[in-house]
């Protein structure tokens, strides 16, 4: 049995749904929506190849994705919160970054107040250890601890702001909702769906960070980074006409 298959089966036995990914891209028809804990299905997937392992973000969990290549760091997150980070389940990524898992503090969460280089995932999926990073060739590694509750100070960074709430309630775009919608797009609808979502962001005066989050969501459902960026930038040009 391969190391990846064993890791996928172990995660499933612990209650984490899993899916096969090629590098970082799902190989299943519906992306992370096809994730399962079924050992039979998992064995069938991995008979076709020694895939990396992905897992959807559980509904009661959020993940801080710290990308060192884009300037993110744990220290920057601590400075933004004003307190040390609570020790929690952590993954060191194959590119030298970190995935920090915390209990979801409330239903409406957002990553708009986080420092540069730190993404925030309350949906979609994560690359799981011992997957191999497609660019660096380095493995993802666990730092196994129980998933902790974040401090109140850190939780305040991801609390939906009054402005964001007003936009949502008035029918202006809700970035969290748009990201969830993009990640649920089916084959055949993905290009037009991503373009529509990007138009909503650009026409509503959205931030560059929101555009980057759309690109990342598109990557989660099979776009290459360049394809996703091309669609989002095309929508921005169209919104200026």
Give the pLDDT confidence score for residue 209 in this predicted structure: 81
Nearest CA-CA partner of 102 in 123, 88, 91, 92: 88
Model confidence pLDDT, tens digit, residues 173-216: 677 778 877 888 878 788 888 988 888 887 777 777 888 888 98
Pairing of strands 148-149, 98-103: parallel
Distance, CA of 186 to CA of 136 (rounded, Å): 30
Model confidence pLDDT, tens digit, residues 122-175: 888 999 999 999 999 999 999 989 999 999 899 888 876 555 555 555 556 677
Q: What is the mean pLDDT of residues 94-98?
A: 94
Measure Cα distances from 5 to 41, 84, 141, 164 in Å: 11, 36, 16, 42
Give the pLDDT confidence score for residue 180 in this predicted structure: 79
Model confidence pLDDT, tens digit, residues 27-85: 998 888 899 999 999 999 999 899 999 999 998 999 999 998 888 999 999 999 999 99
The tokens for 117 are 């280089």
SS3 of residue 181 by DSSP: helix
Lowest pLDDT segment from 1-5, 11-15, 94-98, 106-110: 106-110
The tokens for 30 are 């519906």
Give the pLDDT confidence score for residue 113 in this predicted structure: 78
Give the pLDDT confidence score for residue 239 in this predicted structure: 54
Residue 120 in this model has a pLDDT that exceeds 70: yes
SS (H, E, C) 151-187: CHHHHHHCECCHHHHHHHHCCCCCHHHHHHHHHCCCC
Give the pLDDT confidence score for residue 56 in this predicted structure: 93
Lowest pLDDT segment from 9-13, 25-29, 96-100: 25-29
Residue 114 in this model has a pLDDT that exceeds 80: yes
Give the pLDDT confidence score for residue 189 in this predicted structure: 80
Measure Cα distances from 95 to 4, 44, 67 in Å: 19, 29, 8
Distance, CA of 188 to CA of 232 (rounded, Å): 17
Distance, CA of 201 to CA of 210 (rounded, Å): 7
* pLDDT-based confidence at residue 21 (cuts at 50, 70, 90): very high
Q: Where are the domains of the chain?
A: 3-53, 61-157, 162-239
The tokens for 34 are 């096809």
């Amino acid at each position: 049995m391969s190391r990846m298959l064993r890791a996928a089966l172990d995660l499933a036995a612990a209650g984490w749904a899993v899916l096969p990914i090629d590098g970082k891209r799902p190989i299943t028809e519906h992306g992370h929506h096809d994730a399962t804990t079924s050992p039979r299905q998992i064995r069938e997937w991995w008979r076709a190849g020694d895939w990396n392992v992905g897992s959807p973000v559980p509904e009661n969990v959020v993940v801080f994705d710290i990308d060192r290549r884009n300037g993110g760091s744990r220290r920057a997150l601590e400075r933004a919160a004003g307190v040390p980070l609570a020790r929690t389940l952590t993954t060191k990524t194959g590119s030298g970054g970190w995935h920090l898992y915390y209990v979801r503090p409330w239903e409406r969460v957002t990553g708009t107040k986080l420092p540069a280089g730190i993404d925030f995932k309350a949906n979609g999926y994560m690359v799981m250890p011992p997957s191999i990073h497609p660019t660096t060739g380095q493995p993802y590694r666990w730092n196994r601890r129980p998933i902790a509750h974040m401090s109140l100070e850190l939780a305040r960074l991801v609390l939906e702001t009054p402005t964001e709430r007003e936009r949502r309630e008035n029918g202006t775009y809700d970035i969290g909702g748009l990201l969830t919608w993009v990640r649920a797009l089916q084959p055949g609808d993905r290009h037009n769906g991503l373009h529509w979502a990007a138009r909503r962001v650009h026409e509503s005066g959205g931030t560059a960070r929101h555009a980057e989050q759309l690109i990342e969501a598109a990557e989660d459902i099979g776009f290459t980074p360049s394809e996703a960026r091309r669609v989002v930038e095309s929508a921005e040009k169209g919104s200026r006409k």
